[in-house]
Structure 1
Amino acid sequence: MVEVRIPCMNAGDESTSYANNSLLQKTVILKARSVLEETITDMLMTTGFPTNFKVADLGCSSGPNTFLVISEILDTIHATCQQFNQKSPEIQVFLNDLPENDFNSIFKSLPAFYQRVEGDSFGPCFVSGVPGSFYERLFPSRSIHFIHSSYSVHWLSKVPENLGSNKKNIYMAKSSPSSVYKAYLEQFQRDFSLFLSLRSKEIIVGGRMVLTFAGRSVPDPSSKDCCYVWELLTKSFLELVNEGLVEAAKVDSFDIPYYTPSEEEVREIVEKEGSFNLDKLEIFEENWDPSDDPSNKEFVFNKYRSGKNVANCIRAATEPMLLASHFGERIIDTLFNRYANHVAQHLAVEKTKCINIVVSMTKI
């Protein structure tokens, strides 16, 4: 098996960067906002108002969504303090992602962010970067009040082992043997349990955590909920194999380090690990292309535009990983052009949804 580097998003502000192709992630953040607000408000009312409130955003990536999340958290803290006639605390924000993340872009955006915060009469706010994997310790013991992560925990720490039988697939698919489903589930169980265990050491007793990640709505791990977006990418790869542009062995040896759990799997892991009470779990869906919004009366569906939007979103998340796996830079444009066309044809027939799970937890 080719070793796959766990991805950081495409850096910079190019047309295929994460910063310019993260509308889906933004939409998910906004839809999970009510859970975020309720969790922070309840925490402050339950545990009191600290003079220094420490927040960590894990898998922060870069681009506008990074400070969207932090702004939502600060607004909620400030509003709750005003409601109860409390002085706004000093806020210490830790932005975490892998060392390869585009932290330079984040730091360049800090002056504008600080100017906005100061203009809204918040208490002092201090932002710092914390490079490292959230599958390792990141913070001192019992030092963090609130942890947030959106669209990150579904990325596994590594590709599951024993996927040699998953030929002509880059992820779980209808054609995958049951051993592949089992390997993916077991890797997620290990990773998510480890994530919870590590965070339980870093967060204060009574501290809260809100996580949002891609999931699925049914028990079947090969459902369209979670797999079809990758099956269409596999189809694009196999076309390039048939044309001699990609070696078949490279497709056979490549698998996406990603897992979309069901509600039952999430509940079972949280309960078994035992460090957190699961206070709330909500599931919501979103179009593959969130700009395909029927509520917008001026919107006119164009399958090719939506196909391109989805392809750019997936490319922003996977291009470094694909290149690191030796597919080669020369095939990337061709691959994603094919992919955009396949997605367009699919969306013209069926509006498959992304399933999202948001959980709110309290450290016991």
Structure 2
Amino acid sequence: MLSVFSSPGHYVQGRNATEQLGAELKRLGLDGPVQIVAGGSAQRLLAEVWERSLKDAKIAYSVHSSGGECTRAEIAAIIAAVQDSGCTAVLGAGGGKVLDAARAVADDLDLPMISCPTTASSDAPCSALSVIYTAAGEVDAYQLVRRNPALVLVDTSVIVQAPPRLLAAGMGDALATWFEARTCTKAHVRNMRGGASTRSATALAELCYHTLLADGPQALAAVRERAVTPALERIVEANTLLSGLGFESSGLAAAHAIHNGLTAAPQTHPFLHGEKVAFGVLTQLVLEGAPSAEITTVLDFCTEVGLPTTLAALGLPDPAPTTLSAIAIRATAPGETIHNEPFDVDADITLDALRAADALGRRHTA
């Protein structure tokens, strides 16, 4: 099996980075016109900057208001907008689902994609993967696209305008990166691009974990004050770049499968991707029989930054046995990443791990 490392063509991060959008597009030979797919917050915060930066670069563009979801209906609506406008590139501006929808559209139309996240709430910006949801909010499918974004531009002046909960959720998503990467590497399974992991990918995944522990609480304090600080910059990089490269080029395992399982319970739908992934990390560690000290470190970190460590914290204070069974069955569906674990996993084993992880979380917060 060949080793494969996947990454965006260019990554730009920093204060007021959107001012350089036009120049960065020109430097990469992307002359437009560009279809911007944007959430409401992105338009409110960036419309004037887009006009100024793209006008200076002489790049024409149009804006399509995103519905904020990544469903097949939303993707179809964006495809129609791109085709009507005649644009030659697709730019996603917003949260993870907006970026995923824009990425799927760019892939379907064989166009370059530009990723401009307005939150650091997930590792979606850098990847070549879109998570498609049903209209009911359940995970429908993974769409593996052919190319990573040509450009990822992260404006930390915008990131700090988002609610602190979103940064914390991004840390929850990034928390899974190292634990899933080391599992996939040890199991010699294929990563998200169909190859073996590289040492570079696992090193980035481990750096992501250590950055979270070192800078997470300080970065969260900064974003509460809407302050761009070195710690905030490092956590944004960890949530976005390190986690994105680490998961894609090393692989996913139980933590993200548990997230997918949790979407089978409607009570969890108000909670963010990274919040559910954080509980998935705890469940994966229980499933793997991880050392108590490691589990305690994860519990301490999650508690400090406000990530869920119990089912109750995800809207399931007293889940019915049928609900837990549905979560376990969905998490272990054929093709799910939980089967990258280096041992056989079924719904019964997963159900026990869910219950044990919940018990540990309850004891830790008592």
TM-score (norm 2): 0.32
Q: Report the structure, 1 or 2, having the larger strand content.
A: 1
Q: TM-score, normalised by structure 1?
A: 0.32
Structure (1 or 2) with the larger CA radius of gyration: 1
RCO comparison, higher one (Cα < 8 Å, 6+): 1
Structure with more helix by fraction: 2
